[in-house]
Structure 1
Amino acid sequence: MDPSPLPNQAPAFTKALLAWYQENYRPLPWRETPSLYSTVVSEFMCQQTQIATVLPYFDRWMKILPSFEMLTIASESLVIKLWEGLGYYSRARNLQKLAHQWMAAEPKPETAADWLAYPGVGPYTAAAIASITYEEHAAVVDGNVVRILARLTNDQREFSDNGKAVKAFTTLAGLLITHAERPGDHNQAMMELGATICSKANPQCLICPVKDFCEGQRVGNPAQLPRLAKRQIIQKRIDRVFLIHGGRLLIHRIPTTAKRLAGLCELPPGDLLEVSFPAELILTRRRGIANERIEERFLRIDWNSKLHSLITKDETLFWQPLNQLNDITLTGPHRKWLAELMAL
């Protein structure tokens, strides 16, 4: 494969990208009223979550917890409640830990290297914070940036996973940003380009502001890049219990030691209550977590004395009054599915 001309075109590329961004960027709240805190919160929320989903959560969060100081004095239950529905709840817990660490720090962190010492902050988030807030020439590299750079350079290598691809393109991303007059805007422009123009399935090459620099577009195969090996998908099935008794709903609180969704609430897994068919199947739904595709079947069961004994012995099970369901923090899918179940 011939070397890409992009490194030699870096000054012109960064200039064209920034000119496009200045005219076309989306007026997101953390861009309209920028601050260190809003940048940190938005970066945590936008990890593995689409911006359209994040916007109402960000607005509510900033109204209730508008500063690092307010976040440090908030209860963990409030923090998790405000995060309800965004998923990957370790982000919320790490964000609160970060606030405590930042409040105690002297001097305060500024560089990407400084921010790497904070909970939940990896190379991407560290570079975003340092470049946007302190104008450090630190390049962000994630799936969007990998996709842009692979297409710009017509890189035909196959990568076993996204992490390997990120590592492969980090040097090039770092070279490009050294030519950017405003590194924070350069990083945001790369994010914006990947989100709105250089999309995964249908790149809009005809209106791309940097198409003149794109080797993938020149040879006609940009949508095929980058070449990433397919992840192995694991299929799972979970039976869930839908049990109302005495104006209360039976709820399962996931142990705080769990690797996923620690401390959050869902409808109980059937195996906790030794439930099996022929219980009444009333709803089937599906969701994905990482590389797992999970089918969840909801079973309506009737109250009996055996259930009372099982529930009493299991400290993860509890009864929640139907008129107080909003007081507990359910996982996003179960909040949605519970509304469907209550309507049946």
Structure 2
Amino acid sequence: MDAGKDITEKTRPALTRKIYQSRLSGVTHPDVIRSRRAFQNTLERWYEQNHRKLPWRTEPSLYRTVVSEFMLQQTQVNTALPYFEDWMRTFPDFETLAAADEESVVKAWEGLGYYRRARNLLALARAYVAADPKPETAAEWLALPGVGPYTSAAIASISHGEEIAVIDGNVVRILTRMLDDHTAYKDASQAARQLTPVANELIAGAANPGDHNQAMMELGATVCTRGNPLCPLCPVQGYCRSHVTGEAELLPIFAKKTTTYRQINRCWVERDGKLLLQKAPSDSPRLAGLYELPEGRLVNSDYESAPLILSKKRGIANELIEERIYALSSDAHVPNSPHLHWVALNQLDGITLSGPHRRWVGEILFSRQPELFPHGGR
């Protein structure tokens, strides 16, 4: 979900402060609620003509909706698309997925990150196949592994026609702008909870609740964007208070979060055509069973005196992580450890590396043996 820019009461124009002070009564009975049917019709006509042709829309099914919703948690549509097509070829239905082993499922997910989603999706498939009767309502889907309020509402409305609002970051952005809501929310989850009553009023009586929800999300993803919203192209600008005040781009507002810095030092050790890797334990909350380059503390106490061959930074949630990779000699002492494994270089494609480490291993191997990688080290 997206975060808005931080502003304070002092920076708001006098007119906006007046609107803000009367906002609470507006949230209960905003103008758009009184014109709900016209809003729904306008939005759904726009969606019918302008929605992106995504594979889970062009060939809809319950299973494809479930898979797409899991993949799109924390992942952009363009990133997920090739994975979705590959997934459907490998696991075309609930039954095939339910019969698969966890290792093959996680391997198919490699590169998407947040691997708990893959394990939850496998557990959901097994629970769904075993369920009798099958879940249909949002409340019933909410009881399945890995399904939260957003995902349960999406599945129930899109696949079963339940009249329940789906609220993701796109919808939060639309609603705060329509209401000119300057509340400084703690986070997107709090905003979604607060705005749920309004979203549910907006969907009430919709001819197709699934299309209404998809239209709201599509509008936020393509028109009511976080930066430089395309207000002149918005089909529902006439219902939007922040379009009048000119403050759409400032919303939504989230309290500032502190970013913490963490450095992880790792080692690169090659020996006899094998690479030393570290495998996360099965109870690891994020990377269970995945391989990465080993942390220096597990390999050699003198690793920092070795050449630094790669340094990369990446962000996860509110954490900025810098990972430094030091190249140890092939005869460096490596202790016996259940977490350390020698993997043949020609077998790397057969194991599941975390996404960043898959890229970094490719970069380093390419820099050392470019003749083996005619298309580069990616």
Q: Distance in 2 between matches of 1:221 and 1:206?
A: 14
Paired-residue identity, %: 51
Are 2:213 and 1:187 aligned? yes
Partner of 2:102: 76
Matched, 1:304 2:331: yes
SS at structure 1 position matched to 2:111: coil
Give the Cα–Cα distance (whole angstroms) in 2 for the partners of residues 204 and 231 of structure 1: 28
Secondary structure, aligned partner of 2:304: coil
Q: How does 1:132-143 map to 2 (within 5 A)?
A: 132-143=158-169
Q: Hey, what does 1:202 align to over in structure 2?
A: 228
Partners of 1:279 and 1:300 within 8 A in 2: yes
Deviation string, structure 1 residues 37-70 (Cα, Å, up to 9, x no partner): 0000000000110000000000000001001000
In structure 2, the residue matched to 1:38 is 64
Report the counterpart of residue 18 of structure 1 in structure 2. Answer: 44
8 Å Cα contact 1:14/1:179 also seen in 2:
no
Q: Distance in 1 between matches of 2:137 and 2:354?
A: 35
What letter corresponds to residue 293 of structure 1 in structure 2?
L
Say whether 1:231 aligns with 2:257: yes
* Inter-partner Cα distance in structure 2 for 1:306 and 1:253: 19
Deviations 1:185-221 (A, max 9, x none): 0010111111111111111101011111110111100
* 2:345 match: 322
**Contact kept? 1:127, 1:139, Cα under 8 Å:** yes
**Stretch deviating more after TM superposition (269-278 or 285-294):** 269-278
Task: Measure how far apart 1:247 and its partner are.
Answer: 0.3
Of 173-182 and 30-39, deviating more is: 173-182
The Cα of 1:143 is off from its aligned counterpart by 1.3
Q: Residues 151-166 of structure 1 correspond to what in structure 2 (within 5 A)?
A: 151-166=177-192
Match of 2:318 in 1: 291
1:342 paired to 2:361? no
Whether the aligned pair in 1 keeps the contact of 2:106 and 2:118 (CA below 8 Å) is yes
1:305 shift after superposition = 5.9
1:203 alignment partner, SS class? coil
Rounded to whole Å, the distance in 2 between the matches of 1:262 and 1:233 is 25
Question: Structure 1, residues 291-343: CA drift from partner, whole Å, max 9, x if none?
Answer: 11101111101133632xx1x2x101101101111011001111111111112
Tell me if structure 2 keeps the 8 A contact 1:252–1:268: yes
Q: Distance in 1 between matches of 2:312 and 2:114?
A: 20
**Which 5+ residue runs of structure 1 have no aligned equivalent?**
none
- 2 CA distance for matches of 1:264 and 1:289? 17
- For 1:273-288, what aligned pairs fall within 5 Å after superposition? 273=299, 274-288=301-315
- Residue 374 of structure 2 corresponds to which residue in structure 1? none
Contact 1:250/1:318 (8 A) holds in 2: yes
Moved more, 259-268 or 245-254: 259-268
> Counterpart of 1:179 in 2: which secondary structure?
coil
Matched residue, 1:100: 126
Give distance in 1, aligned partners of 2:258 and 2:169: 18
| Contact 2:274–2:345 under 8 Å retained in 1 | yes
Aligned residues: 340
Match of 1:112 in 2: 138
The RMSD of aligned alpha carbons is 1.0
Give the structure-1-normalised TM-score. 0.97
| Deviation string, structure 1 residues 258-287 (Cα, Å, up to 9, x no partner) | 122111111001111124322100111111
| 1:220-266 C-alpha deviation (Å, 9 max, x unpaired) | 00000011112221111111111110000001101111122111111
* Distance across 2 between alignment mates of 1:269 and 1:305: 15
CA distance in 1, matches of 2:264, 2:283: 20
